């Protein structure tokens, strides 16, 4: 945070004063407090003309007591370097996800606890909220809009600060400043790397830019682009190479057949295909008469468009169309739309996720969505020596973050199954070689 924890740090702001101090700074644990003194009288000084008739609420309001867009301004001043992720002496630490807890003393959220959870849970925080009565002397008045919120997660410090910077004003929804184009830029900058794939990004953008529909639309359009830094153009080319290499053994057809057979055997009626890509498996699943609902989800909008074209979604008979849904979403974030399915298939997807994302994915799928059956396939790295065109030590696809041996996949699967209360068994896909095993490995997890 670039501050001496032994000192008190003060910042003068147009609306009051911010102070930063450290109640605790030991080897194991450090607590930083940002204390905001908002001066409500100072706020209206010089603005009287606008409030002709002078209602009392410009002097008596909750602004000094709740966290609002004033907090973001103060954070920008007090924690600017930390938010940018730069560190002079300890860059590795700044780049590392560490266990962090944020306590928001009081937020005003008229939309209730649900909004608080919807904003923070998809970012991987566990959220606890304490709701306060409007007036403790009059319990019959019910609860007010005020909450104390605690967020806990393993994230980089810059992520936590940027999340708060954007989402606290979104909760509060009362902006103290004029909203112009500069706010769009600020939102995109602070939201870089997480907002584009947040399942509630629309709500966030609209509430961040209230009453500015045009600006909100612009921001959303830019986010849509960021969300697809065209993983697709490169991925498409790479996938083609991968398919060509696997073609002689007709591997992808065997994979689709094997996965479909498991879904059928599980007796599933409603199934998710996560990371559905261009919809090869969806096509097979549509042939399964026992399936009443088939959902394809992918983070790449482009792939979904291609899937929609290949499946001829717009010309599909109504009955068939009702069974199939394509949705844009990310496996990094908890998503209520994924809950309650009989089965989920994750075909050749996990090897595209780097380690921290894989950990998030595990919770999103096995803890939050929690389908009764999960089918995961991934390349068997041991088999790579059999592909003549693949140089030794290379992955099958440029975007793969890893390719696992059977032992590695089985260990990962056993750990995940154990942690989330699933059983797991393994099935080979493609012709099994006596030494190196099958080309594709498949884990079937059941609750
Ligand atoms: N299952 C398909 C596609 C596999 S390629 C098939 O077997 O043909 C991997 C797919 O995972 C790509 O379409 C990619 O866009 C998708 N993907 C990668 N990361 C993702 C994420 N975080 N959330 C959802 N999909 C993701």
Three-class SS string for the chain? CCCCCCCCEEEEECCEEEEEEEEEECCCCEEEEEEEEECHHHHHCCCHHHHCCCCHHHCCCCCCCCECHHHHHHHHHHCHHHHHCCCCCCHHHHCCCEEEEEEEEEEECCCCHHHHHHHHHHHCCEEEEEEEECCCCCHHHCEEEEEEEEEEEEECHHHHHHHHHHHHHHHHCCCCCCCCHHHHHHHHHHCCCCCCCCCCHHHHHHHHCCCCHHHHHHHHHHHHHHHCCCHHHHHHHHHHHHHHHHHHHCHHHHHHHHHHHHHHHCCCCEEEEECCCCCHHHHHHHCCCCCCEEEEEECCHHHHHHHHHHCCHHHCCHHHHHHEEEEECCCCCCCHHHCCCCEEEEECCHHHCCHHHHHHHHHHHHHHHCCCEEEEEEEEHHHHHHCCCCCCCCCCCCCCCCCECHHHHHHHHHHHHHHHCCEEEEEEECCCECCCECCEEEEEEEC
Are 420 and 367 a contacting pair, CB within 8 Å?
Answer: yes
How many CB atoms neighbour CB 95 within 10 A?
12
- Closest by alpha carbon to 424, among 402, 446, 407? 446
> What is the model's pLDDT at position 399?
81
246 lines ligand 1 (CB under 6 A): no
347 lines ligand 1 (CB under 6 A): yes
How many CB atoms neighbour CB 201 within 10 A?
19
Substitution site in 199, 275, 279 for ligand 1 pocket (most atoms within 8 Å of beta carbon): 275
Structure tokens at 402: 């890893």
Question: What are 126-132's contacts with CB under 8 Å, separation 24+?
Answer: 126/151, 126/152, 126/153, 127/151, 132/106
330 lines ligand 1 (CB under 6 A): yes
154 has which bridge partners?
99
> What is the model's pLDDT at position 345?
98
Instruction: Take atom 9 of ligand 1 and give the residue whose Cα is closest.
Output: 349
> What is the model's pLDDT at position 78?
92
> What is the model's pLDDT at position 134?
86
Are 166 and 175 a contacting pair, CB within 8 Å?
Answer: no
**Ligand 1 centroid from CA 407, angstroms:** 23
Residues 153-163 pLDDT 10s: 999 999 999 99
Instruction: Kindly give the number of the ligand 1 atom that is closest to the alpha carbon of 300.
Output: 15
Q: Among all chains, which residue has been given the structure tokens 């075909």?
A: 347
How far apart CA 372 and CA 262 sit, in angstroms, is 12
> What is the model's pLDDT at position 253?
87
**Ligand 1 centroid from CA 275, angstroms:** 3
> What is the model's pLDDT at position 225?
60
For the chain, how far is it from start to end, CA to CA, in angstroms?
44
338 lines ligand 1 (CB under 6 A): no
| Average pLDDT, consecutive stretches of 10 residues, N- to C-terminus, the chain (447 residues) | 90 89 94 90 57 61 84 90 89 92 94 93 93 89 91 95 94 74 85 89 88 78 60 56 73 91 96 95 95 94 87 89 91 90 97 88 96 97 90 85 96 97 95 93 97
Dihedral pair phi/psi, residue 10, rounded to 5°: -115, 145
How far apart CA 326 and CA 337 sit, in angstroms, is 12
Structure tokens at 143: 């609860």
280 lines ligand 1 (CB under 6 A): yes
Q: Whole-prediction pTM value?
A: 0.56
- Closest by alpha carbon to 121, among 339, 309, 404? 339
99 has which bridge partners?
154
Instruction: Take atom 4 of ligand 1 and give the residue whose Cα is closest.
Output: 348
């Amino acid at each position: 945070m670039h501050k001496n924890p032994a000192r008190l740090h003060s910042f003068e702001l147009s609306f009051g004063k911010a102070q930063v101090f450290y109640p605790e700074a030991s080897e194991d644990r450090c607590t930083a407090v940002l204390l905001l003194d908002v001066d409500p009288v100072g706020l209206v000084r010089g603005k009287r003309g606008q409030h002709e008739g002078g209602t009392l609420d410009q002097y008596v309001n909750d602004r000094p007591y709740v966290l609002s867009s004033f907090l973001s301004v103060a954070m920008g001043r007090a924690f600017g370097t930390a938010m940018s992720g730069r560190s002079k002496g300890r860059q590795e630490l700044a780049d590392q996800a560490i266990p962090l807890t944020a306590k928001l003393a009081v937020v005003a959220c008229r939309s209730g606890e649900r909004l608080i959870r919807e904003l923070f849970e998809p970012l991987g925080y566990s959220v606890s909220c304490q709701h306060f009565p409007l007036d403790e002397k009059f319990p019959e008045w019910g609860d007010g809009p005020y909450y104390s919120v605690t967020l806990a997660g393993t994230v980089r410090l810059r992520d936590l600060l940027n999340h708060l910077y954007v989402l606290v004003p979104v909760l509060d929804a009362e902006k103290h400043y004029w909203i112009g184009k500069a706010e769009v830029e600020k939102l995109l900058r602070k939201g870089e790397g997480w907002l584009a794939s947040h399942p509630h990004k629309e709500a966030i953008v609209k509430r961040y830019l209230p009453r500015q529909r045009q600006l909100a639309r612009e921001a959303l359009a830019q986010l849509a682009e960021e969300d697809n830094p065209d993983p697709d153009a490169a991925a498409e080319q790479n996938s083609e190479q991968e398919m060509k290499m696997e073609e002689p053994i007709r591997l992808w057809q065997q994979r689709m057949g094997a996965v479909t057979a498991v879904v059928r055997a599980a007796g599933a009626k409603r199934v998710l295909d996560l990371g559905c890509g261009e919809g090869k498996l969806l096509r097979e699943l549509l042939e399964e008469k026992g399936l009443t609902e088939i959902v394809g989800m992918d983070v790449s909008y482009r792939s979904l468009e291609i899937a929609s074209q290949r499946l001829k979604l717009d010309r599909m008979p109504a009955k068939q169309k009702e069974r199939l849904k394509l949705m844009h979403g990310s496996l990094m974030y908890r998503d209520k739309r994924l809950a309650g399915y009989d089965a989920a298939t994750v075909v050749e997807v996990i090897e595209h996720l780097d380690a921290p994302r894989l950990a998030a994915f595990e919770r999103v799928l096995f803890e939050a969505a929690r389908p009764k059956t999960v089918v995961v396939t991934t390349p068997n790295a041991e088999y790579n020596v059999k592909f003549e065109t693949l140089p030794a030590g290379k992955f099958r696809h440029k975007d793969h973050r890893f390719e696992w041996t059977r032992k590695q996949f089985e260990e990962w699967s056993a750990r995940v199954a154990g942690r989330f209360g699933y059983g797991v068994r393994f099935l080979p896909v493609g012709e099994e070689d006596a030494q190196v095993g099958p080309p594709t490995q498949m884990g079937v997890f059941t609750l």
